[in-house]
Amino acid sequence: MHTQVPVLMWMLPIVGCLVLASGIGRCLSRRHPSVGTSGFVSNWNARVRSWWWIVGVGTIALLAGTVGLTVLFAAVSIQAFREFVRTTPDAPALRGQSAVAVYLFVPLQYALILSGERIAILVALPALMSLMGLLCAEGVPKGQRGHRLDSLTVAAAVCIYGMSFTLAPLWLCPSTNAGEPIGLIYFLVTITQASDVLQYLWGKAIGRHRVAPTVSPGKTVEGLLGGVTSSLLLGAAIAPEFGIGRFHGMLLATLIAMAGIVGGLLLSAIKRRRGIKDWGALLPGHGGVLDRVDSLWLSAPVFSAALAYLQAGSR
């Protein structure tokens, strides 16, 4: 019960931003009815509506504590993995191996996280992924082995292994105060998602120079710089709430934002190679679940490594 009040306090600024965003969308729709059902205004309103659902589910998971967060991110891993594999050219042939990954790898990895066994968390899934890769190669023509193996390996590495590091504070920072690791998870997810949103807003406002036109046409130099700068300021502002110094908060937020940019671009490159715009359509305005967490799969391990380094240095 003692974590519920902090969680609700953490969510108030986010809810306030969503109320403001909803009001802006409504005003734009009324002032410009001709574009209210298309273009930027329609996309804005669809994004905001999806964000209300995302924040609602996230709040419930935070209030439920460790188990709630574990269930939430396990579900995210499952859906993201399915979206990744479903868009591969060999999706029908990978159906059996995909089922193994979903029903074996996901429960195993997240159960290990709950157990707190650090070595097992780091080693078990990569070892099983390698074994499954060898099994997948059996009976498959040589020309197709590499492609199928790459698809499954990348899907598991991104959607299950990388995503599971979002919960790394649970085993990196175990504490009798349940709010400490949960607060660090909140810090990671908030900075990652805020960076994505701020990059989008800065890019729409002043973006002129595209970073990678063929990979992610919507990303601009101005948007990335504005997003990273805003994220580090946000990190410095909220870090003390979670037991992090302001300087370390700025450093961690910068690493999270930059890793998120790289992670998003890597997955965008895979999408372009497959000839798709979005991974799915579950979240209107965003695409699929993987489109919404395409930064988190890399920012989470980077954050975990930085957190472990800071912990080691303080001993």
pTM: 0.90
3-state secondary structure the chain: CCCHHHHHHHHHHHHHHHHHHHHHHHHHHHHCHHHCCCHHHHHHHHHHHHHHHHHHHHHHHHHHHHHHHHHHHHHHHHHHHHHHHHCCCCCHHHHHHHHHHHHHHHHHHHHHHHHCCHHHHHHHHHHHHHHHHHHHHCCCCHHHHHHHHHHHHHHHHHHHHHHHHHHCHHHHCCCCCCHHHHHHHHHHHHHHHHHHHHHHHHHHHHCCCEEECCCEEEEEHHHHHHHHHHHHHHHHHHHHHHCCCHHHHHHHHHHHHHHHHHHHHHHHHHHHHHCCCCCCCCECCCECHHHHCCCHHHHHHHHHHHHHHHHHHHC
Name the pLDDT band for 4 (thresholds 50, 70, 90): low
Lowest mean pLDDT among 22-26, 62-66, 212-216: 212-216
Answer yes or no: is pLDDT of 81 > 70.
yes
Residues contacting residue 50 through CB under 8 Å, at least 6 positions apart: 283, 284, 285, 286
Answer yes or no: is pLDDT of 35 > 60.
no
272-306 pLDDT, tens digit each:
888 899 999 999 989 999 999 999 999 999 999 99
Answer yes or no: is pLDDT of 176 > 80.
no
Lowest mean pLDDT among 89-93, 175-179, 193-197, 227-231: 175-179
For residues 66 and 117, is the Cβ–Cβ distance under 8 A? no
184-203 pLDDT, tens digit each:
999 999 999 999 999 999 99
Answer yes or no: is pLDDT of 141 > 70.
no
pLDDT of residue 107: 92
Report the alpha-carbon angle 74-79-84, nearest 5: 125
As a whole number of angstroms, the distance between CA 155 and CA 132 comes to 13
Name the pLDDT band for 247 (thresholds 50, 70, 90): very high
pLDDT of residue 149: 58
The amino acid that residue 63 corresponds to is L
pLDDT of residue 254: 96
143-175 pLDDT, tens digit each:
554 555 567 888 889 999 999 999 999 988 765
Name the pLDDT band for 36 (thresholds 50, 70, 90): very low
Answer yes or no: is pLDDT of 132 > 50.
yes
Q: Which residue has the tokens 């490594």?
A: 305
Answer yes or no: is pLDDT of 79 > 70.
yes
Distances, alpha carbon 297 to alpha carbons 9, 20, 193, 197, 244, in Å: 26, 29, 12, 17, 22
pLDDT of residue 2: 45
